[in-house]
Structure 1
Amino acid sequence: MSALLLRLAGPLQAWGSGSRFAHRHTEPAPTKSGVIGLLAAARGIRRTEPLTELLGLTFGVRIDQPGQLIRDFQVARTLDDKTSMPLTYRYYLSDAAFLAAVSGDDTLLEGLHDALMRPHFPLYLGRRSCPPDRPVSLGVHPGTLTDLLAQWPWQASKRHQTRAARTVRLEILRDAEDGEPITETIRDEPITFDPTHRQHGWRSVIRAHTDLPNPGGRTTSDHDPMALLGG
């Protein structure tokens, strides 16, 4: 059993699961559809081509640095400059970092790692305006997806780590295994990315938490200024 680990971090990210028309929202964590799309781009799979080899992957993500939600206003005009398009509201996550993991056939995972290191198409964190700040793949590692997400070192920025305590609690969202009590269902299971007939299905999700050490974090002082007043 092994899993491919991905560090998803950059100035901006946007992971929509139900955005339409003038409002383009983002989820607080990467969606399965978005990450499968990133892997498909690295592999060179076009939107109109089947996702057969990627549909069986199990997915999970850990929120290492939530970032901040920001809103951008965008306007556009037709090519002849005669018509103004409606104002659109686009939401992004700024300064966020996530640890994502996919598990499946070992040969497929190794091939995906190689593709991420030399991607066929450019890689984006949800939208084309959101490139990653470094190589995405952390490699294929032995162990279950659940254990790796619970134990892998914290991926927040150094600046973020120094402001946190010596132990941090992080939220994990992952595909539910057979027989597990389901926390919720999310409609971000990709079926096809074909622009003429894009389809997503529902998946069962488990929400959990893990506590990780933060060696670079701040320490709590034992100094009590009121102790001198004690009798």
Structure 2
Amino acid sequence: MPEHLIFTLSAAFAGFGDVAGHERRGSWTWPGRSAVLGLLAAAQGIRRDGDFAALDALRLAVAVFDTGAALRDYHTVQTVPSAVIKRPQSRPAALRRAGKNANTTISHRDYRAGVLYGVAVAGPGLPALAAALEAPAFHLYLGRKACPLNAPLAPRIVAAETPEAALCHLRLPPWAEGLTAQTLYADDGPAERVETRHDAPLDRRLWHFAPRAVAVRSVHIAPKEAA
């Protein structure tokens, strides 16, 4: 019977990718492949220019217990016309030089407030990943650096035929007692429908991602154990 590493992702605020423009950063309702692999890399102390080969070989499934509520924030952003930039020059110096010629725009950020997900990971090296999640090398956050986790991940390795069967053994936070997951997003396996998600990492330093097919299926995952 195959083994799965399972853990929970819970946060008061989260932000999950979407195709980003200069003035708008949207958010999906669940963490995609790049977000989960990035979290696992941070736990192991792998930097953005490090070796991700072992992580890229993993198979993931994400169960949605609570997508939270949509929330939008905004930032005031100033840019400097290229005509007034002298290099080398710091950003504060460039803004002072630009004066009233600086361009001011509003940049929107979409978040999810009060989210909870379960993740099942299959592949090699699960014990080392579980140990890293127990004592992460870097600070872990859910999508964006302003979104720290608000509960232990409670990682554990279980043997199960399917990701959904493994996720029934999750340890949910105490306040999530009684919650069930109705939807599972998986890298492979049976699908009731297929979605396209731009979250397959191509170049992590340049934030380039490729589209991939995601298998979506209805489930009933009702963990009984609290973290």
TM-score for the superposition, normalised by structure 2: 0.79
Give the SS at the match of 1:69: strand
Aligned AA (1:67): G
4+ runs deviating over 3 angstroms: 80-85, 152-157, 179-182, 212-215
Q: Distance in 2 between matches of 1:5 and 1:169?
A: 14
Q: Distance in 2 between matches of 1:112 and 1:153?
A: 16
Cα deviation, 1:56-78, whole Å, max 9, x if unaligned, reads 11011111012101000112455
Q: Please identify which structure carries the higher strand content.
A: 2
- The answer for the alignment partner of 2:38 in structure 1 is 37
Alignment of 1:11-50 (within 5 A): 11-50=12-51
Native 8 Å contact 1:61 1:98 kept in 2 = yes
- The answer for the alignment partner of 1:202 in structure 2 is 211
Aligned AA (2:41): A
Structure 1 residue 17 displacement after superposition: 3.1
Cα deviation, 1:92-137, whole Å, max 9, x if unaligned, reads 00011111121101xx111111112221211110000000012224
Native 8 Å contact 1:64 1:156 kept in 2 = no
Q: Distance in 1 between matches of 2:155 and 2:17?
A: 24
Q: Distance in 2 between matches of 1:180 and 1:136?
A: 27
Are 1:86 and 2:79 an aligned pair?
no
TM-score for the superposition, normalised by structure 1: 0.77
Q: Distance in 1 between matches of 2:52 and 2:171?
A: 31
**Number of aligned positions between the proteins:** 204
Native 8 Å contact 2:118 2:170 kept in 1 = no
Structure 1 residue 153 displacement after superposition: 5.3
Native 8 Å contact 1:169 1:211 kept in 2 = yes
- Residue of 109, 119, 124 corresponding to 2:126: 109
- The answer for the alignment partner of 1:132 in structure 2 is 149
Structure 1 residue 199 displacement after superposition: 3.1
Cα deviation, 1:186-209, whole Å, max 9, x if unaligned, reads 2212233123xx332332222112
Q: Which has the higher contact order (CA 8 A, sep 6+)?
A: 2
- The answer for the alignment partner of 1:185 in structure 2 is 196
- The answer for the alignment partner of 2:83 in structure 1 is none
Q: Distance in 1 between matches of 2:149 and 2:165?
A: 25
Native 8 Å contact 1:154 1:212 kept in 2 = no
Aligned AA (1:116): L
Structure 1 residue 3 displacement after superposition: 1.2
Q: Distance in 1 between matches of 2:173 and 2:153?
A: 14
Q: Distance in 2 between matches of 1:95 and 1:46?
A: 28
